Amino acid sequence: MHVLKFNDAGEAAEPSREEMTASTRPIYSSFYGLRERPFTLTPDPRFLYISGRQREALSSLQYGLTTHHGFMLMTGEAGCGKTTMLNAALGGLQGSKTKCVLVNNPTLSRTEFYELLSKAFGLSEEAVSSKTRFLAELQLLLEARLAQGETTGLVIDEAQSLPFELLEEVRLLGNIESASAKLLNIVLAGQPELLERLRDPQLDALRQRIALRCELKRFDNAETASYIAGRLRIAGGQPQDIFTRESVLLIHESTGGLPRTVNVLCENALISGFAEQVRPVPVRIVKEVAHEFEMKEGHPTGVREVGEGPGAAPAEVPPAGDTERGALFRGISRPKKRFSFFGCLLLAVVLGASSASAQAPVPGGKPTAVAPQPGSELPADYVIGPDDVLGIVFWRDTDMTGDVTVRPDGMITLPLIGELRAAGLKPDALRDVITKAAGKFLEDINVTVVVRRINSRKAFITGEVRTPGGYDLAGPRTVLQLIALAGGLTEYADAKNITVMRTEGGRTQTFKFNYRDVSKGKNLQQNIVVNPGDTVVVP
C-alpha cells in the first residue's frame, strides 16, 4: 500500500538519488549502451509515453483533480498503464494548490480504510478510532482548504477490488460538499470489471455521481514502436542499435500492444540477445521469447532477417571499425536489409513509398521543399510537430524513400542517416537538414519533404460529448465549433461548467465556457479560439 503525502508547502517527499538508481543497471547495460533498465514493470512516470489518447486521459485526470467536480472514473485492462498515468498526473501537481492521497491496495476493511485516510490526511488520533470524529475533522479540513483556494483529492487505484461496503463509504465521502462545490475529488481507477460492478443497481447512486470518465487502450503498431523507442532513449540507448524494425513489428503482434506485456517481452529479448552477444535483437530471439512466455505466436508477413531460418548463423555485432561510407551504403542496398528499427518507423505507420512517389512533383532543377497535403495548403505558420506524418523522398535512392511519423519526442529516424530532430522545423528546413546529413553517405542528393498528414495541430475534447477525441485545426476553431465537430453534448453534460485547459511554458491555464450562454449569444468572450494541444473538458 502506498500513500502519497504532501508537506505544508505542498511538496511531495522525493526519493533519494540512491533509491532511484539502485538495482536499475542491468547486466546487459554496457552491451546495449544503456545506463538503466528500460523495461521495468514499476510504474515510473519518467517512462510515461504520451500518445493522443494518453494525452486526453492525462488532461482529464489533472482537470478532475484540480476542479471541484467530485467523482472521476479511469478504466483500462490490466497492464495498460493506469498506475503510471496516475503517478504522472499526481507528479504534475507537485507544488500546486492540489493535495492528493493515493491508495493503491484497496482490499481493506472499513476500519482499516478510515485508519489509513486519517493518517494520510493528518487527522487526530481520535479520528482513527471514531468515524464520527473522522468525518467532522475531514469536513473542517476540506472547508479550510477550499477557503484558501486549494483542492483535495483521493485517488484509489485497483478500485475494481473495493468491497461493496467500501464503495458505499467512498460514495458517502463524495457527499462532503459546500453550497457551491464538491470538497473532495475522488478518482476511481480500475480494470473493466469496475464498469461491470458499477452497473449493479445497488450502486446506481455512485454511478450517477461520476462527472468525468476516461479509458486507456492498447497501443496500435505505431504507438508500440514509439513506446519502445522512447523507453530505450530515456534509458540512454539508441533504439536503432538495439531492436530491428522487424523485431518491433513482431513485438507488437505478439503482445497486442499491451504496455506491460511489451515490457516483459522486450526485457527478456534483451537478456537473450546479450547471452548470445547479438545486436540489434533479431526477430528470431523475439519469437523464441514470445513462445517461452506463451504469447501469441505469429510472424509479420514477409518478415525475415539475416541470420534467421534453418541452418542460418545468428546475426553478429558489426565490427567497430566498419563505419566507412561504402560499407554503410551497401548495408542498405542488400535485398535482405537490416536497417534498424525505427529506421523504419515508417513501417510502423506504413503509408507506402509508392504513394510518396506518386504525389511528389517530378524531379528537375531545384528540389521541392514541400508538397502540401492533397486538397489543402499548409497553414502559413505551420511547423512540424509530434505525430505528423511526413513523406521523405530521395529521387535516386528508393531504399531511403518512405513515410515516417514524428515521434512524441520530436525525432524521426531515417535509414542510414539515423535520428534527426524534425519538430519545430518548417518542412524546407528539415529538407536542408536531411540533405546535409545524407551528404556523408550519398552523392548528388535530391530530397523532397512531403507533409502527408498534420496530426500535431489538434485540439482535444473529452467527457460528455458524443464523439470525444482529437480534432484537426485546419483553420481557426472556437470552443463552440469544436463541440459541434464532436457531435454536440450528451444529455448528461453539465453545459454551464465546461473548461478549456491550455499548457504553455510548463504551466496549465484554465478557461471557463458556459455552453448555454454562448449558444444564446451571451458571454461571447468565453468562446475563445482553441490552440493546438488544448483540451476541452465537458463534465
pLDDT in tens, 202-249: 998 899 889 888 889 899 888 898 899 889 988 999 888 999 989 999
Peptide bond into 372 cis (omega under 30): no
The whole-number pLDDT of residue 272 equals 95
Long-range contacts of 425-434 (CB under 8 A, 24+ apart): 425/383, 425/384, 426/382, 426/383, 426/384, 427/369, 427/370, 427/378, 427/382, 427/384, 427/390, 427/451, 428/369, 428/370, 430/384, 430/390, 431/367, 431/369, 431/370, 434/392
The residue with greater pLDDT, 356 or 13, is 13
Check residue 349 and give its pLDDT.
35
pLDDT in the model for residue 326: 31
Q: How much is the pTM?
A: 0.59
pLDDT 10s digits, 25-78: 788 999 999 999 999 988 888 888 877 677 788 888 888 888 887 899 999 999
Between the CA of residue 243 and those of 48, 179, 286, what are the distances in Å? 20, 58, 10
Grade residue 267 by pLDDT with cuts at 50, 70 and 90: very high
Which pLDDT belongs to residue 442?
77
Span 453-467, average pLDDT: 83
Answer with the residue of higher pLDDT: 533 or 393. Answer: 393
Lookup result for grid cell 508537506: 7
The predicted structure's pLDDT at residue 324: 30
Percent of the chain with pLDDT strictly greater than 90:
33
Pick the more confident residue, 257 or 506: 257
Give the pLDDT band of residue 92 (cuts 50, 70, 90): confident
Q: Quick: pLDDT tens for 359-382.
A: 333 334 444 444 444 445 677 778
Q: Tens digits of per-residue pLDDT, 304-336? A: 343 444 334 344 343 333 333 233 222 333 333
Residue 452, CA distances (Å) to 34, 248, 373, 449 in order: 34, 23, 6, 9
The answer to whether residues 146 and 201 touch, using CB atoms and an 8 Å cutoff, is no
Cell numbers placing 242: 538495439
C-alpha cell at 15: 526519493
Which domains does the chain carry?
52-215 (3.40.50.300), 351-454 (3.30.1950.10), 458-538 (3.10.560.10)
Q: Provide mean pLDDT across the span 126-131.
A: 88
β-pairing, 370-371 vs 535-538, is unpaired
Lowest mean pLDDT among 477-481, 507-511, 516-520: 507-511
Comparing 179-183, 380-384, 451-455, 505-509, which segment has the lowest mean pLDDT? 505-509
For the cut 90, the answer to whether the pLDDT of residue 296 exceeds it is no
Q: pLDDT grade, residue 482 (50/70/90)? A: very high
Sign of the four-CA dihedral 365, 366, 372, 378: negative
> What is the residue whose three cell numbers read 535482405?
336
pLDDT for the residue numbered 9:
41
